[in-house]
């Protein structure tokens, strides 16, 4: 008994069963730290290789050599490159991305103002892609080689092939300009702006919290078109991956066994086969969501959606280096966070990964 008990304990007296969990947590933390370090290194190098002189951006092209030299020293650009990088890491970790030349406000303040708009758009687009893409992929797999399969694959192919800005312009021309079914540019009509208090920064949520259905309906009318355009590409990706996963599951022996036992076809497909597919689909949906967060630049530009992509585009055109790099870090951090969340959900759903 003593020997058995001691074998289950480490030299520190703690149960050995905790070690795998602690190692997994430590490995995850290390992986996130290394990835974030790589993100900071890349953004730092981008800031150094871009054909924009950060000193001239601050002091102007007509500044005297004395003012230029003083600015170089104040910005720390006279220090060795590794010192500049360490200083850059320290500032980022404390939330100091510098000031935006475009808005004259701290970049972090601008990020907090515009990111909720991108988060709202990407979330609605992902919901659109999930609720249409998963059933489409299942139907395509069940009807492999028949016309529903060919039709869904064709729709998905268009989603991969069509330029997003072209599709956005056509959608505006048809559904807003010609048919008048939806509202046009921006998040709200001017009349409804600043009516509801900004609690989360997401108009749909804030208007519901305020109980103002008029503002909510106007926000829905504005978000339908850009989220549908953005969600179409999510739909194409999710439908394609769902079809691939389902085809693999439908060939498994447990599906044949379930059919032999007399289970209905719908239960076999939508409960058993799709249930096993949902585990890898978590990663697919998470990646799709992350790509929508970072890939909504063109959609936000066409629809004048005041989100992070629109902000980064305007900052890039204005040579606002602090804002561009700050936006890149925020997008990268969001990507890392979503991937970490998908890993955690994967482990919760599938006990075999523990």
Domains of the chain: 26-93 (no CATH), 108-353 (1.10.3720.10)
Which pLDDT tens digit goes with each residue over 195-236?
888 888 888 998 998 888 998 999 999 999 999 998 898 899
Which residue reads 């190098």 in tokens? 45
Which pLDDT tens digit goes with each residue over 36-86?
888 888 888 877 776 666 666 666 667 677 777 777 776 666 677 788 888
In 3D space, the residue among 211, 41, 224, 210 whose CA is nearest the CA of residue 125 turns out to be 224
Task: Name 336's Cβ contacts closer than 8 Å, sequence gap at least 6.
Answer: 32, 35, 36, 39
Q: What pTM was computed for the model?
A: 0.79
Q: What is the pLDDT of residue 134?
A: 93
C-alpha distances (whole Å) from 33 to each of 20, 89, 96, 347 are 20, 12, 19, 20
Does pLDDT of 145 surpass 70? yes
Does pLDDT of 346 surpass 80? no
Does pLDDT of 118 surpass 50? yes
Which residue reads 């807003």 in tokens? 176
The burial class, CB within 10 Å (0-12 / 13-18 / 19+), for 171 is buried
Q: What is the pLDDT of residue 132?
A: 93
Percent of the chain with pLDDT over 70: 84
Does pLDDT of 292 surpass 60? yes
Q: What is the pLDDT of residue 324?
A: 83
In 3D space, the residue among 70, 113, 41, 111 whose CA is nearest the CA of residue 320 turns out to be 111
| Whole-number Å distance between alpha carbons of 130 and 352 | 25
| Whole-number Å distance between alpha carbons of 271 and 283 | 19
| Whole-number Å distance between alpha carbons of 161 and 255 | 34
């Amino acid at each position: 008994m003593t020997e058995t008990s001691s074998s289950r304990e480490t030299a520190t007296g703690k149960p050995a069963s905790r070690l795998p969990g602690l190692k997994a947590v430590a490995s995850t933390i290390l992986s996130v730290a290394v990835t974030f370090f790589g993100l900071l290194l890349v953004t730092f190098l981008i800031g150094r290789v871009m054909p924009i002189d950060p000193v001239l951006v601050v002091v102007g092209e007509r500044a005297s050599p004395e003012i230029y030299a003083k600015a170089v020293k104040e910005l720390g650009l006279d220090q060795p490159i590794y010192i500049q990088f360490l200083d850059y890491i320290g500032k980022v970790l404390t939330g100091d991305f510098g000031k935006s030349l475009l808005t004259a406000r701290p970049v972090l303040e601008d990020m907090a103002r515009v990111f909720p708009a991108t988060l709202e758009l990407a979330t609605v687009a992902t919901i659109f892609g999930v609720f249409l893409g998963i059933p489409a992929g299942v139907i395509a797999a069940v009807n492999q080689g028949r016309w529903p399969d060919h039709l869904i694959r064709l729709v998905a192919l268009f989603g991969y092939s069509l330029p997003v800005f072209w599709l956005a312009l056509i959608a505006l021309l048809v559904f807003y300009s010609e048919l008048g079914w939806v509202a046009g540019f921006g998040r709200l009509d001017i009349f409804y702006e600043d009516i509801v208090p900004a609690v989360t920064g997401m108009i749909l949520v804030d208007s519901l919290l305020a109980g103002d259905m008029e503002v909510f309906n106007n926000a829905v009318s504005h978000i339908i078109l850009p989220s549908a355009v953005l969600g179409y590409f999510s739909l194409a990706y999710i439908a394609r991956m769902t079809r691939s996963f389902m085809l693999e599951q439908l060939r498994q022996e447990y599906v044949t066994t379930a059919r032999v036992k007399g289970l209905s076809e719908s239960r076999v497909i939508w409960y058993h086969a799709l249930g096993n597919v949902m585990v890898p689909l978590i990663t697919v949906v998470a990646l799709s969501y992350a790509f929508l967060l970072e890939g909504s630049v063109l959609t936000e530009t066409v629809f004048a959606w005041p989100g992070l992509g629109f902000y980064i585009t305007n900052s890039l055109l204005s040579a606002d280096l602090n804002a561009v790099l700050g936006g890149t870090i925020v997008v990268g951090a969001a990507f890392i966070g979503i991937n970490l969340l998908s890993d955690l959900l994967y482990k919760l759903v599938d006990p075999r990964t523990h």
